[in-house]
Amino acid sequence: MSKSTFFTGQPIFSQVLSLIPKPLVRRVCQEHQADHYCKKFFFHDHLVTMLFSSFHSCTGLREVITGMQAEGDRLMHFGLKNTPRKSTLADSNIKRPHTAFEDLFHQLVSHYFKGLPDSRSKNDIRRLFIIDSTTFTLFSTVMRGAGTYGLNGKKKGGAKAHVVLDSLHDTPAFIRITESRKSDKTFLNHVNIPSNTSVVLDKGYNQYNTFSGWSRKDIRWYTRLNKAAVYEVMEELPLTQDQIELGVLDDQMIKLGNPVTRKKTPLQDARLVQYYDAESKRKFYFLTNDFISCPYEVAQMYRRRWQIEMFFKRLKQNFPLKCFLGDSENAIRIQIWCSLIADLLIKVIMDKMHTTKKWSFANLCGLIRLHLGTYINLWAFLKNPEKSLLNYKPPDRSMQAKLF
C-alpha cells in the first residue's frame, strides 16, 4: 500500500488550534476565573466554538451549532467532547468575561511576534507603529454610536477598535475596544510605545502632552496638522530643487501650542511640512518631531499609514463582523476578540511558511474556511499543493475485497 504525507491524522482546524498553547489558555482561564460556576462548557470549549464560527463566517447561533454537529466525528480532534446547545452558547457569551479573550489575544501576540528576529536593514533601526481606529456598526443600541439621533429618538450602536499596528509584522501590537462615541485621543492614555521607535497616526489623535512625552523618550511621531492647531513659525528651512519637484511646498520649524494654556500644555518644538500630492491634487500639512529626515521622507512616512487601513479591510472582509451572535455588549466583544485571534492565527501560519510559493491572506483564509474539517497536512499542502496531489495514490483495496 502506498504511503502519502498529504493526508494527516488531524483535520485542518485541529492543526490551526495547535498554534494556541494549551498552558497559555489554562493560565488565562485561571487569571480571569473564566470557568467560574461552569459545569460542562469550559473556556477552552467556548474558544474553539467561537473560532469555528469565525472561520466559517457563521451569522447565527443555530448555524454554529448545526455546523459543529455535522462535524461530530471530528469533535475529539477539536478538543471537544460534545457540541454545546444553542442556549448554552448564548448564556456563555453573556456571562463569561470578555477580558479573558482579550488577554488571550495579547498573550498570543507577545508569544509569536515579540521575540521574532528583526529582518530590517541596518540603516532602518527604528520600529514603526501605526495608530488608528475602525468602527463596527451594530443594528442595536447596545454600544452607543457616534453621530446624531434618528427621528425615532434612537441611533445605531457601534463598537470602535483602537489599534496599534506593528508595521514590521503587519499585526496589531495592542487593541482596545470601546463604544464608537469615545474620542480617539483618550486611547493614547492606554498606549505604551517603546523608546527609539516611530509612530504614525491620524490628526484625530493629536494630543500635545503625549507628543511631548514621546519626544523625551526619543520616539519620532508623524501626523497631520489639525485645522484648529495654534503654532508660531520660528524658521523657514531651505528647499532643494529636487524637493520642490517632488511636491514639497514648504518646510518650517514651529513652536507648537497655545501660549495662553502653556502652563497646562507646554509649548514644544516641531516641524511643519507642506506637501502637494499630484495624484490626488491635494495639499497636506504634516506635523512631526523628526528634524533629521528630508521633507519628502516625512511625507512618505505618513503615507505608510495606509497599511493599517489594509488591515481593517482584511479583518472585515474575511470575518463575520456584521452579524453578531448576541445582543449584549459582552457577546459582541467576545466575537470581535475571537475574530482578531483567528486573524492572528492565519498571520502566524503565513510567517511560518518559508516556501517559494506565496499565499495571499484571502486565499489562505478561504482554504481554511472550505477545508476546516478535512484531513489534510496543511503545511505540506501550502508548501507545494500540486506536488502533494500528484504524489498521492489511493490505497489498494483489492486485497480487502477478496476477504468478502
Q: What is the pLDDT of residues 96-106, one digit of tens each?
A: 999 999 999 99
Position 71 scores a pLDDT of: 81
Q: According to the model, what pLDDT value does residue 10 have?
A: 84
Decide if 286 is inside a domain.
Answer: yes
Length of the chain: 404
Q: Which of 253, 273, 304 is the last residue of a domain?
A: 304
User: How confident is the model at residue 398, as a pLDDT?
Assistant: 54
> Would 366 be classed as within a structural domain?
yes
Q: Look at residue 24 and tell me if it is in a domain.
A: yes
Question: Do 232 and 278 fall into the same domain?
Answer: yes
What percent of the chain is predicted at pLDDT more than 90? 46
Residue 154 domain flag: no
CA-closest candidate to residue 294, choices 245, 256, 248, 231: 248
Question: What residues contact residue 339 under an 8 Å CB cut-off, 6+ apart?
Answer: 54, 315, 319, 320, 321
Any domain includes 250: yes
DSSP secondary structure, 138-181, as one string: ESSSSSBPSS---TTS---EEEEEEEEEETTTTEEEEEEEEETT
260, burial (CB in 10 Å: exposed 0-12, middle 13-18, buried 19+): exposed
Q: Are 155 and 148 in contact (CB under 8 A)?
A: yes
Q: Does residue 73 carry a pLDDT above 80?
A: no
State pLDDT tens for residues 234-248: 999 999 999 999 999
Give this prediction's pTM. 0.85
Domain hosting 342: range is 12-101+326-391
- What's the total number of domains in the chain? 2
Is 346 inside a domain boundary?
Answer: yes
b/e burial code for range 95-128 (CB count within 10 A of at least 16 → b): ebbbbbbbbbbbbbbeebbeeeeeeeeeeeeebb
pLDDT bracket for residue 403 (50, 70, 90)? very low
* Residue spans of alpha helices (H) in 223-328: 241-246, 295-303, 306-318
In a domain, 231, yes or no: yes
Across the chain, mean pLDDT equals 84
Q: Considering only residues 73 and 121, tell me which one the structure prediction assigns the higher pLDDT.
A: 73
213 & 294 share domain = yes
Tell me, yes or no, whether 16 and 95 share the same domain. yes
Is the same domain home to 91 and 48?
Answer: yes
| Residue 361 host element (H or E) | helix 361-370
Q: How many angstroms from the chain centroid is the CA of residue 331?
A: 19
- Do the domain assignments include residue 255? yes
Clarify whether residues 229 and 294 are in a common domain. yes
